[in-house]
Amino acid sequence: MTDLNGKTALVTGSVQGIGLAIAKALAGAGARIAVNGLASPEQAEAACAELRAAGAPEAKFFDADLSDPDRIAAMMQRVADWGGADILVNNAGIQHTAPIATMPRAKWEAILAINLSAAFYTMQAALPAMAQKGYGRVVNIASVHGLVASKDKAPYVAAKFGLVGMSRVAALEYAAAGTKAQGGVTVNCICPGWTETAIIQPQIDARAAALGGDRDAGIAELLSEKQPSLRTSDPSEIGALALWLCAPIAHNVTGTAIPVDGGWTAQ
């Protein structure tokens, strides 16, 4: 069992979906959780309450729209004042599908800002303190689209490939920080395939509509094109892997991009 008592984890986009599932896994191991995401006060408090119920000694919402570097800086300062992040999970992300020829400029800008630049700014703020403590974990939620491309996803694929590359640079820069006993500082990506959350709903809806409104048939068709297991992942499965990466035993696992994709990227 990984023991994260005394550790603080900042999980971006943790009011729902994969982020909330990761936060729950870390909370279950005893971590304090800094929650973030675009949410109403009610949704933010509901997420914090869920995390306290899961075992977090404290869970607090840190409001910040991560498309704005100034708001990221302000959030990181408030998290530092709260004790600082021993664990940083860059999970917040958005998607928009369209061919390059018709991709709106605003979508390109927003996807690069939230899915890539935000992770640079949070790592820049958090990594030096992790190195000083000799323990730190950065878990960046990339995607299979950080490893392979699909059409109609130019900004998303560009951002996720960028996130995988940037994580490798950070892993190298901090590889020698800390000792085995302290746990060291590692930086890794998790690369999910189809995982059942709100972000894939528009793509499921489009397929279902083309199949007479049959949601299950829509999901089956999406899986059959890319994910050989023909099974979606549950967000809690991503949470379990993120928790393992935070354990001291994973001190030499750094600079990796681990697919959870039913064989998608093995093809």
> Least distance to ligand NAD from the beta carbon of 42, Å?
14
Find, among 153, 131, 134, 146, the residue nearest to 203 by Cα. 153
Binding flag, residue 192, ligand NAD (CB under 6 A)? yes
Give the span between the Cα atoms of 80 and 170, in whole angstroms: 20
> Least distance to ligand NAD from the beta carbon of 93, Å?
2
Q: Which residues contact 146 (CB under 8 A, 6 or more apart)?
A: 157, 160, 161, 163, 164, 189, 191, 257
Per CB under 6 A, the list member of 74, 112, 148, 199 interacting with ligand NAD is 199
Binding flag, residue 239, ligand NAD (CB under 6 A)? no
Number of residues that bind ligand NAD (CB under 6 A): 29
Are 257 and 167 in contact by the 8 Å Cβ rule? The answer is: yes
Per CB under 6 A, the list member of 81, 198, 212, 252 interacting with ligand NAD is 198
Are 12 and 19 in contact by the 8 Å Cβ rule? The answer is: yes
Which residues in 112-151 contact ligand NAD (CB under 6 A)? 114-115, 141, 143
Which residues in 82-101 contact ligand NAD (CB under 6 A)? 91-94
Closest to ligand NAD by CB, 84 vs 93, is 93
| Beta-carbon count within 10 A of 180 CB | 10
Give the span between the Cα atoms of 186 and 206, in whole angstroms: 39
Per CB under 6 A, the list member of 54, 131, 148, 200 interacting with ligand NAD is 200
Binding flag, residue 257, ligand NAD (CB under 6 A)? no
Point out which span in 65-73, 99-107, 165-173, 223-231 binds ligand NAD (CB under 6 A).
65-73
Cα–Cα–Cα angle for 34, 238, 138, rounded to 5 degrees: 50
Give the span between the Cα atoms of 133 and 136, in whole angstroms: 8
> Least distance to ligand NAD from the beta carbon of 30, Å?
23
Binding flag, residue 19, ligand NAD (CB under 6 A)? yes
Closest to ligand NAD by CB, 115 vs 254, is 115
Give the span between the Cα atoms of 179 and 213, in whole angstroms: 55
**Is 156 part of the annotated catalytic residue set?**
yes
Binding flag, residue 240, ligand NAD (CB under 6 A)? no
Are 119 and 140 in contact by the 8 Å Cβ rule? The answer is: yes
As beta bridge partners, residue 258 has: 190
Active site residues: 156
Instruction: Enumerate binding residues for ligand NAD (CB under 6 A).
Output: 12-13, 15-19, 36-39, 65-67, 91-94, 114-115, 141, 143, 192, 194-195, 197-200
